Amino acid sequence: MTAETLVRFAEAVASFLAALPFSRTYLHMLQLESYQLDGYLRWLRRNPSRAFALPFALGIPFAAAQLILARAPLPYDGEIARAGAWLLFIAAAALAIRSVKRRGERKPFAMTGRMRRLVFANAALISAAVALGSLGPAAYLAVALIPPIAWVAGLALSPYERAVNRRFADEARSILAARPDLTVIGVTGSYGKTSVKSMLATILSVKYRVLASPESYNTPMGLTRTVRERLLPEHEVFVAEMGARHRGDIAELVELVRPGYAVLTSVGPQHLETFGSVEAVAETKFELVMGLPEGGAAFFSSDSEGLRPLYERAICEKALAGIEGEALGMRADEIEAGPDRVAFRLTSASGESARIEVRIPGRHTASNLALCAAVAERLGLTMGEIARGAAKCEPIPYRLTATETAGGMVMINDGYNSNPISAKAALDVLAGYTGRRKIVATPGFVELGGKEAAYNREFGRQIAERADVAILVGDRNARALREGLAEGGMADGRIYRAKNIKEVQALLRRIGTAGDVVLFENDLADNHG
């Protein structure tokens, strides 16, 4: 084996090793985009400096250094110098990645089986790019192109991953097909679906053994895993949360779990970047109703304007429930909404009523519980059983959960997947803390397409009406939010900027005082920061 061959082999190995830590950020972004290749490309387009600055800052100088080494009269063999340069490159890449990791990750990188396959394929592609051709500067330019190489790795593995997913999904279908006795309820909506799923499962547990998809497991693989890993013979009801980013996503989930009941919580401006319009969102949510079998029933919140046309279109057994509207199957009224709980009267279409009190804040909670109660009544629960179940409902993490610090400040965490309508409800909860200084920390809304700036300006105006201080997190929406705050009358001296949540916490230690109430509205995922 010649020296040239040895060095080329060493370079391929070095590039493979360098790719492992260096590609982590890009593979993490692909993971956060649910391995959707189009979503990863959107991230690259939205964040060109963040995506390409580091690899080009490392790759191009080393390419130039190799050109110099190839022509410089060195006392050592040029091939050894080239190998030494690679070792220096690996060291520099490791230092760069260490500095990136110090910034922290909101949702940690998960080394799943799929990610292990991606890591290996990505590193192999980089090694192949280095090993082919004449090397030289191309070896380093291959590293500079790591961001799109991660996409190529995902594309190369996609046929295999689809085959694996189909096999697991087929297993889940077989499990469900063997359980004709199981009552399956699908829950979808632009917002509120996780809360409604959780509350509905809690209420139904008074009478039935219930399995609900955990956390935000609302994708085909999330529901597949739930069925394969958690569904037991003793379960009588399965409550499946159903999320969507594209048309056809709900139809795919319906085909997977075959629900007999549909619960629609809302239609609104969410994921407009992929849907294109609220009308497309509505059509996608309606796929759940269209997929019901003969004898199925659909339940609609009366408090989401976008659902009324869908209710009118539905030709199955159907019911409206909520606070506002006529001919409701279940109504919540006499509402007393406090900062940490809500109490109200719940009345069915037959006139039966019960007084409900739950340790979850917000007027919208009464609306959500009325929707859950309508489903529970259809499944045979009495108003007394519904009231007992509602009393057991607990706040869901990152959805208006309040804690008090040792210094006497109240922190309200509403950091999960905010949108213009749910954010307004959160501001209403904040307004319930009378006699206290109110602070809102937010990065604004994302994935709203061409309307993103307009929605964030309006959000800024709403913050100015209800809060005393605003902390704008990150750069993406800062301008639109500030414009809205100014239009709402908030003075510049009460508007602060922070790069990330760590800077927000440091700022609150400086300006916060006992008694302050701080609303954290939305916490952008790493792929949106």
pLDDT digits over 441-467, tens only?
Answer: 999 988 787 888 999 999 999 999 999
Rounded percentage of the chain residues whose pLDDT exceeds 90: 53
- Strand stretches in 8-108, DSSP E: none
Average pLDDT on 405-425 reads 85
3-state SS class at 263: strand
Residue 367 has pLDDT above 70, yes or no: yes
Residue 91 has pLDDT above 70, yes or no: no
Residue 224 has pLDDT above 90, yes or no: yes
Comparing 11-25, 104-118, 268-282, which segment has the lowest mean pLDDT? 11-25
Task: State pLDDT tens for residues 312-348.
Answer: 999 999 999 999 888 899 999 999 988 889 999 999 9
CA atoms within 13 A on the CB side of 470: 29
Q: Would you state the pLDDT for residue 68?
A: 60
Nearest in space to 25 (alpha carbons), one of 51, 56, 53: 51
Q: Would you state the pLDDT for residue 372?
A: 97
- The dihedrals phi and psi of 334, each to the nearest 5 degrees, come to 50, 50
| 296 compared with 44, residue with greater pLDDT | 296
Tell me which fold the domain 401-521 belongs to: Protein-Tyrosine Phosphatase; Chain A (3.90.190)
Confidence of residue 122 (pLDDT cuts 50, 70, 90): confident
| 120 compared with 370, residue with greater pLDDT | 370
Place of tokens 């690996």: 90
CB 466 within 8 A of CB 460: no
Torsional sign, CA 257, 399, 447, 308: positive
Confidence of residue 79 (pLDDT cuts 50, 70, 90): low
Q: In sequence order, which residues have a C-beta less than 8 Å from that of residue 238 and are 6 or more positions away?
A: 182, 183, 184, 185, 210, 211, 212, 227, 231, 257
Average pLDDT on 113-119 reads 89
Q: What is the mean pLDDT of the chain?
A: 85
Task: State pLDDT tens for residues 32-56.
Answer: 788 888 888 888 887 777 777 666 6
Average pLDDT on 182-210 reads 96
Q: Would you state the pLDDT for residue 527?
A: 42
| Domain at 179-391, CATH homologous superfamily | Mur-like, catalytic domain (3.40.1190.10)
Average pLDDT on 63-80 reads 56
**Eight-class DSSP state of 293:** P
Residue 384 has pLDDT above 90, yes or no: yes
CB 371 within 8 A of CB 187: no
- The dihedrals phi and psi of 479, each to the nearest 5 degrees, come to -65, -50
Residue 405 and residue 509: Cα distance in Å, rounded?
11
CB 373 within 8 A of CB 407: no
Residue 522 and residue 198: Cα distance in Å, rounded?
20
Task: State pLDDT tens for residues 460-509.
Answer: 999 999 999 999 998 888 999 999 999 999 999 999 999 888 889 899 99
Q: Would you state the pLDDT for residue 315?
A: 95
Could you state, in order of their start, the residue ranges of all structural domains in the chain? 3-160, 179-391, 401-521
Q: Would you state the pLDDT for residue 134?
A: 44
Q: Would you state the pLDDT for residue 302?
A: 95
Rounded percentage of the chain residues whose pLDDT exceeds 70: 81
Comparing 5-14, 139-148, 214-223, 362-371, which segment has the lowest mean pLDDT? 5-14
Average pLDDT on 49-71 reads 64
Q: Would you state the pLDDT for residue 70?
A: 56
Which two tokens mark 315? Answer: 């030709």
Nearest in space to 236 (alpha carbons), one of 257, 205, 261, 195: 205
